[in-house]
Structure 1
Amino acid sequence: MNNAIAEHAGRSDEGQRITITFVIPSYNVEDYLGRCLSSLLIEQRLDDVEIIIVNDGSTDGTLRLANEYAARYPQIRVIDQENKGHGGAVNTGVANARGMYVKVVDSDDWLDQVALHNVLEELRRQAASPAPVDLLITNYTYEKQGKRIKQTIRYASVITPNRVIGWNEVKRFRPDQNLLMHSLTYRTRILRDKARLELPEHTFYVDNIYAYAPLPQVRTLMYLDEDLYRYFIGREGQSVQKDTMIRRIDQLIRVVRLMILATPSRDSVPEGLYRYMIHYLTINMGIDSAFMVLSKNRENYRRKDELWRYLDDHAPEAGQAVRHTLIGSLLTVPGPVGRWLIRVGYWFAHNVFGVN
């Protein structure tokens, strides 16, 4: 980390302590950025809030709009860079964050006003504490285009709210209950000093690495049962659409391989954390396997088997643990029967749980 950045982390140029930095990676989002920013700026107290908009080589009016907001609000900084992809934009934002905490908000998403107020109040209490919590977890809601009923992912069944805890106090997660980028607010030093997180550039789906690789550096966490993050999903060309994910299977594989390499040994982390990481790794192995099978491409069938061998070769302990889960055992049934099981499982997840 740059020494100048390190010296000023947590303080503005005027010496005011900054509680949180919101990083907004932005690429050709002229139509959405205003909604995102408005949801942050509606909070009445902003003296200890920083908003960094990273314009990632946009070719529309995104940079102009970002600069207009920055001219009106001193809390906003705009960083203009050549296109590096979502991961490169997050890297830039985190590297330049001056807040004690950092949260990534994608530019087509937004935050809930009431929940934001409550979350900021808790973060201020943590910032004043002699032992600030490493990770704050909140809920997120799928804002699916054209859907009136919204699905919110909550964690009260696995994490006791409003308490600072360790990983061994975390219970078992359901398959649809994962800690995504949307639910995480990290202490900045966890990402920058401890994990030294550097996401791959020009790669989609790196939010899975962001929500996985730093976790072994997190010692304490707190859950607030607040529906903070509104995750907009369903617009044309979005990276999580089925056909798009099949086209980008190379990038899905790349991300999961990096997750495999970031998986710690069981005896090096708390049991509760290892259990969760195996859970999340299993889900991502399932996603990759499903889309390779759904492609109906024989080469992708071969690559699915190759990915499972990569897991066994590079993280054999984790590979064994993943295979021993119910999902893992179904994913690794060989041949046409195994592919049929995956297709049925995907249909069930998509139509019953609403998973893409």
Structure 2
Amino acid sequence: MGEPNVSIIMAVYNTAEFLPETLESILAQTFGEFEVVCVNDGSTDGSAEILREYAAKDPRVVVIDQENLGGTRAREVGLGLARSEYVWFVDSDDVIPASSLAALHTSLVEAGADIAIGNYAKIDADGAVFSENVYPRQSAKGEVSFAQILRLNAPQLWNKVFRRGLFTGVDFSPVRIGQDLALSLQAAMASRKSIMVDHDVYHYRVYRGSISQTFRTDTLLDITRSLGILIARAKNTGLYESLEGDWNELLLRHCLHQLRKLVYLGVGDARHLQRGIRDFLAENLGPANSAEADILAEDVQRYLSSRIFLTPKYWRHFLGSRRKRA
């Protein structure tokens, strides 16, 4: 095999049930030269054996074993071993339509871009599609700014091909929730040009056993670490103040998503999660100095008072004290 044009990086941990389907979909790509760098993150369910079986019969598949250090570290290891100028991070339980890599790479090169972003669908455990074209079609083609990426709610790592150099200086701190969010948006901040490709490039599998569906308080609070990494990077690169309203919305969106999972926790754990997110928002939410921010604040109050049984009086006090500080 010659030098690859794209390095597909896949962190693997206990996905033996879906791993063969994922690998088959990758190896069936119509695109030319690519490699698949698989980092086995201490799997115990037979995933390692499946990887070695595929590596033995296809030279494009490279397997590295490590102890269980988490997906972020596995991706960092894979990135360090990638030989191509372009990288694509794929999850080990999803499915890639056959023309995906060709569509992303061709668009990337023709546009002289650093990131190509494709549309995607959601599938269930059996592979049946239940949500197509997640991005609105009118937003799914052409050049997009970093602000548009934020507003489009496009933090996924797996539906993008990146120029590898974008990850220089990226914070790969280990987190269990928000890995994609932290890595992809850090890279997007460094991009000179990003484009949307009007093509279904990825089928994201949603099922009960998914790592991203874990309901542990310490895991759920990792979203605040991921968001904190992004806010620090944005401030260091001058991309915070001009987009403060968009950052506020991002923080609220992802924190509220984790708070929806309170119903799965015991009383003590629920309070711990509630306090952790409350304190994070109090410290990091930008000043409510615009109509948009006021609307967001009211949405937070309504949501939390109805879903978490906190009184509206509490949230009026919390948000009001923030306005005074601003």
Could you say whether these structures have the same fold, taking a TM-score greater than 0.5 normalized by the shorter chain as the test?
yes
| 2:68 aligned with 1:83 | yes
**Contact kept? 2:38, 2:51, Cα under 8 Å:** yes
The residue aligned with 1:346 is none
Which of 176, 198, 206 is the aligned partner of 2:172?
Answer: 198
The residue aligned with 1:182 is 158
How many pairs align?
309
Shift of 1:257: 2.9
Q: CA, structure 1 residues 44+206, in 2 after alignment: closer, same or farther (shift >3 Å)?
A: closer
The residue aligned with 2:322 is none
Which of 236, 260, 271 is the aligned partner of 1:290?
Answer: 260
Which of 215, 225, 230 is the aligned partner of 2:203?
Answer: 230
Shift of 1:71: 2.3
Q: Quote the Cα distance in structure 2 between the aligned partners of 1:277 and 1:80.
A: 37
The residue aligned with 2:314 is none
Which of 211, 214, 230 is the aligned partner of 1:262?
Answer: 230
Q: Quote the Cα distance in structure 1 between the aligned partners of 2:110 and 2:274.
A: 47
RMSD, aligned α-carbons: 3.5
| 2:95 aligned with 1:134 | no
In the alignment, structure 1 segments of 5+ residues that lack a partner are: 1-11, 127-131, 343-356
**Contact kept? 1:286, 1:327, Cα under 8 Å:** no
The residue aligned with 1:220 is 193
TM-score (norm 1): 0.74
The residue aligned with 1:60 is 45
Post-superposition Cα deviations, 1:322-341, rounded to whole Å, max 9, x if no partner, equal: 99264543324598546259
| 2:298 aligned with 1:329 | yes
* Residue pairs, 1:277-316, within 5 angstroms: 277-292=247-262, 295=265, 297=267, 300-301=270-271, 303-313=273-283, 315-316=284-285
Q: CA, structure 1 residues 20+133, in 2 after alignment: closer, same or farther (shift >3 Å)?
A: same
**Contact kept? 2:104, 2:117, Cα under 8 Å:** no
The residue aligned with 1:115 is 100
Shift of 1:183: 2.3
Q: CA, structure 1 residues 19+225, in 2 after alignment: closer, same or farther (shift >3 Å)?
A: same
Shift of 1:226: 1.0
Determine what percentage of the aligned residue pairs are the same residue. 22
| 2:29 aligned with 1:33 | no
Q: CA, structure 1 residues 30+172, in 2 after alignment: closer, same or farther (shift >3 Å)?
A: closer
**Contact kept? 1:56, 1:82, Cα under 8 Å:** yes
**Contact kept? 1:266, 1:274, Cα under 8 Å:** no
The residue aligned with 1:20 is 6
Q: Quote the Cα distance in structure 1 between the aligned partners of 2:54 and 2:126.
A: 29
Q: Quote the Cα distance in structure 2 between the aligned partners of 1:67 and 1:322.
A: 56
In the alignment, structure 2 segments of 5+ residues that lack a partner are: 312-326
Q: Look up the equivalent residue of 1:329 and give its one-letter code.
A: E
Shift of 1:299: 5.2
TM-score (norm 2): 0.79
Q: Quote the Cα distance in structure 1 between the aligned partners of 2:291 and 2:229.
A: 14
Shift of 1:51: 0.8
Q: Quote the Cα distance in structure 2 between the aligned partners of 1:280 and 1:143.
A: 25
